[in-house]
Amino acid sequence: MKIIRYPDRADWPELLRRPVMDNRSVDSIVMPVLEEVRKNGDKALAAFTKKFDHVDVDTLEVPGEAFAEAENLVDQDLKAAIEKARENIETFHRMQQITPARVITTKGVVCWQKAVAIEKVGLYIPGGTAPLFSTVLMLAIPAHIAGCSEIVLCTPPDKTGKIHPAVLYAAKVSGITHVYKVGGAQAIAAMAYGTETIPRVYKIFGPGNQYVTAAKQLVSRGDVAIDMPAGPSELAVVADESATPAFVASDLLSQAEHGADSQVLLFTTSSKLAEQTLEEVQVQVQLLPRAELARKALENSRIIILKSMNDIMDMVNDYAPEHLIIASDNADDLAEKVVNAGSVFLGHYTTESAGDYASGTNHTLPTNGYARAYNGVNLDDYVKKITFQQISPEGLRNIGPAVMKMAEAEELKAHSNAVAIRLKP
């Protein structure tokens, strides 16, 4: 992690560059997988699971008794922690429900909108050594609150053909109806096209490696909606003299340990804080089981010293971080200046880890600069807002002349006739 002092504005774009991802070669690997699943369904899934996950799965769907078994395997303390997180995530996402208002736009013309759940949604949870059961909660709880009638989950099996018990337990407590043992691009294809066993869904959510991400983007061109484009995780920390270097270092490392391609940036006006934080990072990283990954991520990472907090907030907004921590006594004021960010953590005790797990906000957030235009997953992602309107004879008399005038100006005579025929005395 390098310290960069007072860079010129002209150099900011270079300093804010993310580790490059080249997805073109990935598309050419993923496309045949999608095609094969579309053509051969379950048979293709079994073959890909054998090829990529090195395991034969007897049945794709996780049987009912496996959930009870998982419940016994997850220890009590973890269950209590999951319950705490579940409650907070539910409370926060319920707050996102809005009661739609009926609006009279003109006398006799009533318009309103209604949020109607997407009937079938598919969640993807990556496998691997550290199963992301927290992501099960983050994606399934809002789906459940929104009222999605079918919530399916795909996740790859381990070497013995099983799913991690914490993933199954989280699925059960967050109301998931079906879990399937399949991962990778083939799982995305299964949910996009449907197979004999796995139902086709209308929207796919969830993180994944570059193959999963490429598959989601490819199927979203015509077959199914997706949550958002996903990339490597990132964190920006804004800190001043009021911050504690050890706290800041711990936050930088908590993000760096996600993966070798993660990126963390520290912005500060204090040279002393920059140096002390760097020392702390070097001490704390040695103690991490995932030190290797974290060190790789730190190579993509920087500490940037600028003259003023205004400059810092400009640079942070240029970067559009997925996560932003403002470690300052003045966090509330600085928060007003945030324009581009996925999720913001204010003050010295608001560690980003809290948002990853249990504070209640969603941890599925826009990466790779998408925070300029996208928000993280929330209840709106699981519903369509359908608009309704009802017009009385008086209402049509009030807006009819405007409609006819505009239709005729666009040379759409039938449109104008549809009004005229109703207004005839």
Taking each continuous run of H as one helix and of E as one strand, the counts in the chain are: 16, 14
User: Closest distance between Zn ion and the C-beta of residue 352, in Å?
Assistant: 6
Helix (H, G, I), strand (E, B) or coil at 371: helix
Q: How many CB atoms lie within 10 A of CB 1?
A: 22
Site size toward Zn ion (CB under 5 A) is 1
Alpha-carbon gap, residue 419 to 341, rounded angstroms: 47
Q: Which is nearer to Zn ion, 36 or 261 (CB)?
A: 261
Contact 1, 274 (CB under 8 A): no
User: Closest distance between Zn ion and the C-beta of residue 323, in Å?
Assistant: 7
Position of minimal CB gap to Zn ion: 356
Q: Which is nearer to Zn ion, 36 or 356 (CB)?
A: 356
Measured between alpha carbons, how far is residue 20 from residues 251, 339, 368 in Å? Answer: 23, 24, 10
Helix (H, G, I), strand (E, B) or coil at 5: strand
Contact 326, 346 (CB under 8 A): yes
Of 164, 258, 323, 363, the catalytic one is 323
Which of the residues 344 through 363 are near Zn ion (CB under 5 A)?
Answer: 356
Q: Which is nearer to Zn ion, 237 or 309 (CB)?
A: 237
Active-site annotation holds for 71: no
Alpha-carbon gap, residue 172 to 82, rounded angstroms: 11
Active-site annotation holds for 322: yes
User: Closest distance between Zn ion and the C-beta of residue 111, in Å?
Assistant: 42
Phi, psi of 84 (to 5 degrees): -60, -50
Phi, psi of 373 (to 5 degrees): -130, -15
Q: Which is nearer to Zn ion, 36 or 234 (CB)?
A: 234
Angle at 196 between CA 195 and CA 200, to 5 degrees: 40
Helix (H, G, I), strand (E, B) or coil at 71: helix
User: Closest distance between Zn ion and the C-beta of residue 251, in Å?
Assistant: 9
Closest CA to 125 of 230, 206, 184: 206
Please give the radius of gyration of the chain, using alpha carbons only, rounded to the nearest integer: 25
Contact 404, 129 (CB under 8 A): no
Q: Which is nearer to Zn ion, 176 or 256 (CB)?
A: 256
Eight-class DSSP state of 338: -
Name residue 122's amino acid: G
Q: Which is nearer to Zn ion, 73 or 130 (CB)?
A: 130
Counting contacts by CB under 5 A, is residue 257 touching Zn ion?
no
Q: Which is nearer to Zn ion, 252 or 305 (CB)?
A: 252
User: Closest distance between Zn ion and the C-beta of residue 258, in Å?
Assistant: 6
* Residue 284, burial from CB neighbour count under 10 angstroms (0-12, 13-18, 19+): middle
Residue 365 tokens, joined: 């957030």
Binding mask 300-339 toward Zn ion (x if CB under 5 A, else -) reads: ----------------------------------------
User: Closest distance between Zn ion and the C-beta of residue 288, in Å?
Assistant: 13
Of 36, 322, 352, 363, the catalytic one is 322
Closest CA to 125 of 182, 52, 86: 182
User: Closest distance between Zn ion and the C-beta of residue 283, in Å?
Assistant: 20
Residues that bind Zn ion (CB under 5 A): 356
Active site residues: 322-323
